Amino acid sequence: MQMLAKVKFAGNSLKVPTGWQQPQGDPVGKQYGDAFPASERSSTPDTAVPPLFQPASMNKYHTDTQKKLNEQFGKFIDDMCSAICSAWSQWQTAASMAGIIVNAITAAGGVMVGPPMTPLIIATAPKTSPMMIKYATAIASTIGTGWLTWQSSIKIPGLPFYPAFAAFPSAMAPPMPNVPVPLIALTQVTTTLGASALKGQMVGQLGDPMAPFHKELFEAISDSFEKCFLIWQPSTMVTNVLGTGPIPTFLPPFVPVGPVVGGIATMAPGGLV
């Protein structure tokens, strides 16, 4: 996520100082050139990859500004992405499901439950300056709200979790784990976790149109988050959903097997792997 965010941010090709133009003509242009020694008129820019900012010129004061902003914004992106990923990992470890209905081989419905993301992100987000706190709070609040909306939309759409429950030789099927499926196979609404929606919400949460480079920063974080989410969905498996239920038609020796009817299933924390 860190590198994805940096590449997205660098794609803006932001030059600093913002809006600077080389003085031209006499006497202004000559005065500007004479104001700096040769060592300051031509200096080496930051060679970080990818460069988040470009110097407006090779003037030492411009390359110094570039280096400072590259360092500040680069560290913020690294630390913010680490905080998001840490919170994400904690949520995945603690997430559980309940209220799943089992009939024969299929499981349907259910509610996904997990810890709120916002405080988990805030706990390790960068807070070294008042502006960073404002940026981090806007990002954490937006992702946390979007995540909660997505989480509440997750349902199992009648998937064949329990093949053995089609004809089980007992009056009651014991708890049995499901056939693992990717998380993306479950019904879910991901609109609130899209890059465009997240960026807009972050800008609104910040509420400061004069904050430096906030739109580019929020776009980079949102875009990298969405890309990682789209990779995580199909690669994360829903496992250990324990299903059980009665077999009302079981009547040996006349009916030695039967399907589960009106059973239930739950997933304890640790089922998303």
For residue range 157-205, what is the model confidence (pLDDT) as tens digits? 999 999 999 999 999 999 999 999 999 999 999 999 999 999 999 999 9
The neighbour count for residue 203, using CB atoms within 10 Å, is 18
User: Looking at the chain, how many residues does it have?
Assistant: 273
Tell me the residue ranges of DSSP E strands in the chain. Answer: 14-16, 53-55, 96-103, 106-113, 156-160, 172-176, 181-182, 237-238, 241-246, 263-267
DSSP 248: T
pLDDT at 125: 97
58 vs 37: which has the higher pLDDT? 58
Asked whether residue 122 is domain-assigned, the answer is: yes
For every residue of 10-72, DSSP letters joined together read HTT-EEESTT-----STTHHHHHHHTS-HHHHS-PPP--SS-SEEESSS-HHHHHHHHHHHHH
Residue 32: inside a domain, yes or no? Answer: yes
**Has residue 123 been placed in a domain?**
yes
Residue 272 lies in a domain: no
> Is residue 14 situated within a structural domain?
yes
Q: For the chain, how many structural domains are there in total?
A: 1
| In a domain? residue 58 | yes
Instruction: Give me the domain span that covers residue 150.
Output: 2-267
Number of H helices, E strands in the chain: 8, 10
Measured N-to-C along each axis, helices 214-235 and 2-10 cross at an angle, to the nearest 10 degrees, of: 140
Three-class SS state of 223: helix
Work out the number of other CB atoms within 10 angstroms of the CB of residue 72.
18
* Residue 273, in any domain of the structure: no
3 state SS of 150: helix
CB 62 within 8 A of CB 16: yes
- Residue 88 falls inside a structural domain: yes
- Give the pLDDT confidence of 215-263 residue by residue, as tens digits: 999 999 999 999 999 999 999 999 999 999 999 999 999 999 999 999 9
* Predicted model pTM: 0.90
